[in-house]
Structure 1
Amino acid sequence: MSKGGVNTISWHINNPFTGGDAWDTTPGSLASVLPNGSKHELFKNWLDKAAVFLNSLKSDDGKSIPVLYRPYHELTGNWFWWCQNNGTPEQFKELWVFSFNYLKSKGVHNLIYVFNTADFETYEDFEKFYPGDQYVDIVSFDAYQYDDPATSTAYVDKCRKQFKIMNEFAFKHNKIMAFAETGFEQIPYENWWTDTLIKAIGNYKISYVLVWRNHGWLEHEQKMHYYAPYKGQSTEKDFKKFYELPNTFFQKEITEQNIYQ
């Protein structure tokens, strides 16, 4: 906040039903945390701890720091316990609304709520799990590059299709959009930033785009795991060109805007 930027948080919350991690999709997990569910009280306890942390985020002058909060992300996937394969749209909406109201009751008022999906084919697919305008500030989706952009346009085509749908939804619901997660692991395509990512976004007006983490060496997979270039990485020059594009906006520019005044 002191630099004029905006922080974002996603929470790979463990599975309260089993004690496993976020990727434990045991049937019944989502239902277990809802009111009257077997793990509802445990889930509330976890939200209590989250509220303490979120309320502790203060600037030097004591003001609450705004945070882009993306709960239950990639909900249209099938890899997290809160995803669409583990609950009905009504159950997901109930989970979202309960969490929103519970954190609010604990004095948490500094969150910018980001509704987030993975793949979707139609407007109805995107809308199906939407909890309501009063509970959402930003709409978004996640999409990654997995094939070779030199020979395939699949990533660009999918993103443009989903942006078109989401843009229609955002306009109707008076929401802003984001590309909340994307990237190409190890970025092996030299011009990925200016030849692929910028094409995927097109002319759609998004509030931000986030590439995934630079973790480094993954021991269990025996490989490097990163999505943003570093000095000497093969896309370093192309990323600088991306930075210099007139339609990109980085920390330097946002600091000059003095958005917290």
Structure 2
Amino acid sequence: MIKIKLLFFTLFSLLFIPVFGQLTDTKASIKTKNLYRNLLRLSGKKVLFGHQDDLAYGVGWKNQNGRSDIMELTGEYPAVFGWDVSGLETGHAQNIDGVPFEKMKQYIKKAYSLGMVNTLSWHMDNPVNGKNSWDTSSIAVKSILPRGSAHLLYKGWLDKFSVFVRSLKGTDGKAIPILFRPFHENGGGWFWWGAKSCTAQEYKDLWRFTFTYLRDKKQLHNLIYVFNPCDFKTEEEYLERYPGDSFVDVLSFDSYQYSGPGKGESFAQDIAHSLSIQNKIAKRSRKLSAIAETGFVEIPDANWWTNVFAKAIRENKPSYVLFWRNAGYREKEKDNHYYAPYPGQVSASDFLEFIRNNEILLQKGLKKYAVYN
């Protein structure tokens, strides 16, 4: 009888243990909880397609109401919109890529009203010397931790960020859920919060302080926290700077194809390997798995979407993937800078095939799932 009861309890547990993870913020708003729950339900089945700054500018245009390179090619907006709040901390009117913050608020609200998802990154300036986020000449992380010389300055930056986030409300008056990805690409050496500029413990302490300050002190309950390493080959490398399951909701990484079209196969293999590691951790921790930044500048390979990227995500589908921005021609750099196709671009027709045949969701596809309800 005892064995039968034990067997029944085991079967009951397997059936009724929550399949989906819980947000780290137990006081998260209903809309935020709904979004996270629904993204988890879609995880492994559908991939949300995202694009950085999609509504703000594209190849050959800027600040034109309603325009979108993806919309003009496909007839619908992306499912995920990426934005960056660099410059917010220092009182600038626009971010590092020239997007005015007042416009950004409008774009975020529009995306929410259409049932799409917003994610924020933050290329914040070096708080010690005032230079940009790529400046590693001054050690900053230790300085902004509690008892550090720049700690009060950093809290002031978080206060400004909080004001911005609190202003993000839909027409329903509800706070708009935001996927927040601070201190990204933490395994690299190019940012002042990167692996060459702080210890793993200092990074973890910074993440935990930031998380706790925003959640508890500033009472922001519409943020979903996205962890973002890079250049990892093993699970141990991935988790080296991981602050813990209680401080992270989404696991992600960034990866770009920098070499020519002939290197597509190796790029696909690298992405597939990274996803296999990340998805394993995500399943164990009941977190979302995503690709937070990716792309192939100018996409010169006409079949890149179906021959390269589709293969990269076939075995371990990310919840969402965000392609970087379509800046177009840059006068200063004398180059073309775009990562998503537009009408007439060499890979445009292949992209249309890619989204048809690989469980990819854009705006209209995502709307059917009513992810905020």
Normalised by the length of structure 2, the TM-score is 0.68
Moved over 4 A (4+): none
- The number of residue pairs the alignment matches comes to 261
Output the CA distance in 2 between the equivalents of 1:37 and 1:154: 43
SS at match of 1:143: strand
Q: Is the 8 A contact 2:275 2:318 kept in 1?
A: no
Deviation by residue 1:45-85 (Cα, 9 ceiling, x = unmatched): 11100000001110101001001111000001111000111
**In the alignment, which residue of structure 1 is the partner of 2:302?**
190
Amino acid at match of 2:294: T
Output the CA distance in 2 between the equivalents of 1:92 and 1:25: 15
Q: State which drifts further: 225-234 or 197-206.
A: 197-206
1:106 aligns with 2:218: yes
1:13 aligns with 2:124: yes
Q: Which has the higher contact order (CA 8 A, sep 6+)?
A: 2
1:119 aligns with 2:231: yes
Output the CA distance in 1 between the equivalents of 2:363 and 2:305: 17
Amino acid at match of 1:198: A
**In the alignment, which residue of structure 1 is the partner of 2:25?**
none
Deviation by residue 1:88-145 (Cα, 9 ceiling, x = unmatched): 1110000001111111121211111110011101110001111111111100100000
Structure 1: stretches of 5+ with no match in the other structure: none
Output the CA distance in 1 between the equivalents of 2:196 and 2:313: 28
Structure 2: stretches of 5+ with no match in the other structure: 1-111
Return the index of the structure with the highest Cα Rg: 2
**In the alignment, which residue of structure 1 is the partner of 2:279?**
167
Residue 176 of structure 1, aligned match among 280, 288, 291:
288
Q: How far is 1:200 from its partner?
A: 1.3
**In the alignment, which residue of structure 2 is the partner of 1:258?**
370
Residue 252 of structure 2, aligned match among 140, 149, 163:
140
**In the alignment, which residue of structure 1 is the partner of 2:322?**
210
SS at match of 2:307: helix
Identity %: 48
Q: Is the 8 A contact 1:75 1:84 kept in 2?
A: yes
Tell me: CA distance 1:152–1:62, structure 2 relative to 1, closer, same or farther (3 Å): closer
Output the CA distance in 2 between the equivalents of 1:246 and 1:88: 40
Output the CA distance in 2 between the equivalents of 1:137 and 1:75: 17
Output the CA distance in 2 between the equivalents of 1:97 and 1:200: 32
Output the CA distance in 1 between the equivalents of 2:371 and 2:276: 28
**In the alignment, which residue of structure 2 is the partner of 1:73?**
184
Q: How far is 1:216 from its partner?
A: 1.9
Amino acid at match of 1:41: L
Output the CA distance in 1 between the equivalents of 2:318 and 2:264: 24
Q: How far is 1:149 from its partner?
A: 3.3
Q: State which drifts further: 74-83 or 25-34.
A: 25-34
Residue 269 of structure 2, aligned match among 157, 160, 168:
157
Output the CA distance in 2 between the equivalents of 1:185 and 1:246: 22
Q: Is the 8 A contact 2:268 2:308 kept in 1?
A: yes
Amino acid at match of 1:132: G
**In the alignment, which residue of structure 1 is the partner of 2:313?**
201
Normalised by the length of structure 1, the TM-score is 0.97
Pairwise CA RMSD of aligned residues? 1.2
